[in-house]
Amino acid sequence: MSEEIQNSNVKQKNDKNKVSQSYWSLVWWKFRKNKLAVVGAIILAFYYITCVFFAEFFAPYPKDLESDYLEARPTYFQFRDSEGNWFLRPFVYALDEQIDMATRTRTYVYNTTVKYPIYFFVKGEPYKLLGFIPAETHFFGTDPETPDAKVFLMGTDRLGRDQFSRLLYGGRISLFIGLFSVIVFLFIGVSLGAASGYYGGATDIIVMRITEFLSAFPQEPLFLALGAAVPVTWPSPRVFFMVTILLALIQWGGLARQVRGLVLSGREEQYVLAAQSFGASDRRIIFKHLIPATMSHVIVIATLKIPGMILLETALSFLGLGLVPPTVSWGTLLQNANTVRAIRFAPWYLFVIPFILFSIMAYNMLGDGLRDAMDPYSK
Cβ within 8 Å of residue 54, ≥6 positions away = 129, 130
Single out the segment in contact with other proteins by CB under 8 A; choices: 9-17, 197-205, 215-223, 276-284. Answer: 215-223
Say whether residue 233 binds other proteins (CB under 8 A).
Answer: yes
The nearest distance, CB 360 to other proteins, in angstroms, is 5
Give whichever of 194 and 352 is closer to other proteins, judged by the CB atom. Answer: 352
The nearest distance, CB 225 to other proteins, in angstroms, is 5
Between CA 98 and CA 106 the distance in angstroms is 6
Among 52, 208, 224, 245, which residue sits at the site for other proteins (rule: CB under 8 A)? Answer: 224
Cβ within 8 Å of residue 371, ≥6 positions away = 300, 304
Between CA 287 and CA 278 the distance in angstroms is 16
The nearest distance, CB 340 to other proteins, in angstroms, is 6
The nearest distance, CB 317 to other proteins, in angstroms, is 12
Give whichever of 38 and 135 is closer to other proteins, judged by the CB atom. Answer: 38
Q: To the nearest 10°, report the CA torsion of 234, 240, 243, 248.
A: -140
3-state class of 76 per DSSP?
Answer: coil
Say whether residue 10 binds other proteins (CB under 8 A).
Answer: no
Say whether residue 14 binds other proteins (CB under 8 A).
Answer: no
* Cβ pair 103, 199 in contact under 8 A: no
Among 159, 183, 205, 229, which residue sits at the site for other proteins (rule: CB under 8 A)? Answer: 229
Closest Cα partner for 175 from 43, 39, 359, 319? 359
Among 226, 300, 323, 333, which residue sits at the site for other proteins (rule: CB under 8 A)? Answer: 226
- Which residues make beta-bridge pairs with 231? none
Say whether residue 368 binds other proteins (CB under 8 A).
Answer: yes
Single out the segment in contact with other proteins by CB under 8 A; choices: 105-113, 263-271, 291-299, 352-360. Answer: 352-360
Between CA 163 and CA 171 the distance in angstroms is 12
Which H or E run contains 93?
strand 86-100
Give whichever of 188 and 194 is closer to other proteins, judged by the CB atom. Answer: 188
Give whichever of 151 and 321 is closer to other proteins, judged by the CB atom. Answer: 321
Closest Cα partner for 146 from 122, 163, 110? 122
Between CA 275 and CA 277 the distance in angstroms is 5
* Cβ pair 361, 36 in contact under 8 A: no
Could you give the C-alpha distances from 137 to 41, 134, 320, in angstroms and in order? 28, 10, 35
Say whether residue 231 binds other proteins (CB under 8 A).
Answer: yes
Give whichever of 5 and 340 is closer to other proteins, judged by the CB atom. Answer: 340
- One character per residue 303-342, x = contact with other proteins (rule: CB under 8 A): ----x---x---x--xxxx------------x--xx-x--
The nearest distance, CB 306 to other proteins, in angstroms, is 12
The nearest distance, CB 46 to other proteins, in angstroms, is 18
Among 81, 350, 372, 375, which residue sits at the site for other proteins (rule: CB under 8 A)? Answer: 350
Say whether residue 364 binds other proteins (CB under 8 A).
Answer: yes
Say whether residue 222 binds other proteins (CB under 8 A).
Answer: yes
Give whichever of 109 and 353 is closer to other proteins, judged by the CB atom. Answer: 353
Footprint on this chain of other proteins (rule: CB under 8 A)? 212-213, 216-218, 220-222, 224-229, 231, 233, 307, 311, 315, 318-321, 334, 337-338, 340, 343-344, 347, 350, 353, 356-357, 360-361, 364, 368
